[in-house]
């Protein structure tokens, strides 16, 4: 039987060194704060210097350890530098939350420019490839690790007017499953979380109109938007030792959107 005094210890992230991409805003920001509060040493990666530094300062002010590394995740040299800097700063690396993403303008494919397509694929798919590649190379050489990718219910379902976003998220989910399979026996656990509509700056554009916001809330059985901290909780669990047998999972954190697949 589990000793009650240690019942929660596997959920803690004490001493774990974790990269959070897109850590300067929204879900990444809440995840960095939560991971640090659970004892992790956090490397925050973002193109947004102000947001990233703010989060690192908040963690330091609360007595935690964090560093911000300005990173454009679509640039391979930046991603290599991120992994090397994180490992050097904290003496190693145990986990990564690959969470950065963009949504791009709404419009059907006939209305979507090739430039928009390429931009969304670059951040939501190419950057996930680069992050996985360099994190996995590190973990292979250093005894393993755990990775969580932020996908979206758009990785499973179509949404009106979001062809590039839906395609990029379907691709990133496929890459999660493929890498989960390829590296499971090598000590690397890779999983996906699929958030539903969540109150962050990314979603704010589509929710400005109160009528549109009401439609989005009603589309989620729980009847409300998610909060970024609720997504962070799922990522913290999957990165923790409590999830040691969970590999290649699609963890929906969506207020029930996925009940009718």
Ligand X SMILES: NC(=O)c1ccc[n+]([C@@H]2O[C@H](COP(=O)([O-])OP(=O)(O)OC[C@H]3O[C@@H](n4cnc5c(N)ncnc54)[C@H](O)[C@@H]3O)[C@@H](O)[C@H]2O)c1
Q: Which of 141, 145, 152 is nearest to 27 (CA)?
A: 152
> With b meaning 16 or more CB within 10 Å and e meaning fewer, what string describes 190-216?
bbbbbbbbbbbebbeebbeeeeebeee
Per CB under 6 A, 22 contacts ligand X: yes
The phi, psi pair for 41, rounded to 5°, reads: -105, 120
CB of 40 to ligand X, least distance (A): 18
Query: CB under 6 A: which stretch of 11-19, 41-49, 112-120, 178-186 binds ligand X?
Result: 41-49
How many chain residues touch ligand X (CB under 6 A)?
A: 30
CB of 96 to ligand X, least distance (A): 13
User: Is 123 in a helix, a strand, or coil?
Assistant: helix
Q: Which of 64, 226 has the CB closer to ligand X? A: 226
Query: CB under 6 A: which stretch of 93-101, 111-119, 131-139, 156-164 binds ligand X?
Result: 93-101
Q: Which of 122, 247 has the CB closer to ligand X? A: 122
Q: What is the DSSP letter of 125?
A: I
Per CB under 6 A, 96 contacts ligand X: no
Binding mask 116-155 for ligand X (x = CB under 6 A): -------x---x----------------------x-x---
Q: How far is CA 38 from the centre of its chain?
A: 17
Q: How far is CA 174 from the centre of its chain?
A: 15
Q: How far is CA 170 from CA 43, 157, 158, 174, 177, in A?
A: 27, 8, 10, 6, 11
Query: CB under 6 A: which stretch of 59-67, 69-77, 134-142, 241-249 binds ligand X?
Result: 69-77
Residue 106's contacts (CB-CB under 8 Å, 6 or more residues apart) are 161, 162, 206
Question: Could you write out the DSSP letters of every residue in 196-234?
Answer: -SB-SHHHHHHHSSHHHHHHHHHTSTTSS-B-HHHHHHH
Per CB under 6 A, 46 contacts ligand X: yes
Burial of 78 (0-12, 13-18, 19+ CB in 10 A): middle
Query: CB under 6 A: which stretch of 1-9, 94-102, 113-121, 133-141 binds ligand X?
Result: 94-102
Binding mask 193-232 for ligand X (x = CB under 6 A): --x-xx-xxxx------------------------x----
Active site residue 8: no
Q: Which of 8, 138, 159, 165 is catalytic?
A: 165
The pair of three-digit structure tokens given for residue 141, joined into one six-digit string: 């050489």
Q: Which of 19, 243 has the CB closer to ligand X? A: 19
The residues binding ligand X (CB under 6 A) are 22, 24-28, 46-48, 51, 71-74, 99-102, 123, 127, 150, 152, 195, 197-198, 200-203, 228
Catalytically active residues, by annotation = 165
């Amino acid at each position: 039987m589990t000793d009650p005094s240690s019942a929660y210890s596997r959920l803690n992230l004490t001493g774990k060194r974790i990269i959070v991409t897109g850590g300067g805003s929204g879900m990444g920001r809440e995840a960095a704060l939560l991971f640090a509060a659970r004892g992790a040493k956090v490397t925050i990666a973002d193109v947004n210097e102000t947001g990233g530094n703010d989060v690192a300062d908040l963690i330091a002010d609360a007595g935690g350890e964090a560093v911000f590394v300005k990173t454009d995740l679509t640039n391979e040299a930046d991603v290599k530098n991120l992994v090397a800097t994180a490992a050097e700063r904290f003496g190693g690396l145990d986990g990564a939350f690959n969470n950065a993403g963009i949504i791009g303008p709404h419009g059907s494919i006939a209305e979507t420019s090739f430039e928009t397509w390429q931009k969304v694929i670059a951040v939501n798919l190419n950057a996930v490839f680069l992050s996985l590649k360099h994190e996995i190379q590190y973990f292979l050489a250093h005894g393993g690790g755990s990775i969580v990718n932020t996908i979206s219910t758009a990785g499973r379902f179509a949404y009106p007017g979001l062809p590039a976003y839906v395609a990029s998220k379907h691709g990133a989910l496929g890459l999660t499953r493929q890498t989960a399979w390829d590296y499971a026996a090598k000590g690397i656990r890779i999983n996906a979380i699929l958030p539903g509509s969540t109150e962050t700056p990314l979603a704010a554009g589509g929710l400005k109109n109160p009528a549109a916001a009401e439609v989005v809330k009603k589309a989620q059985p729980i009847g409300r938007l998610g909060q970024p901290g609720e997504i962070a909780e799922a990522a913290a669990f999957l990165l923790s030792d409590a999830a040691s047998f969970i590999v290649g999972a699609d963890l929906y954190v969506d207020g029930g959107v996925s009940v009718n697949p």
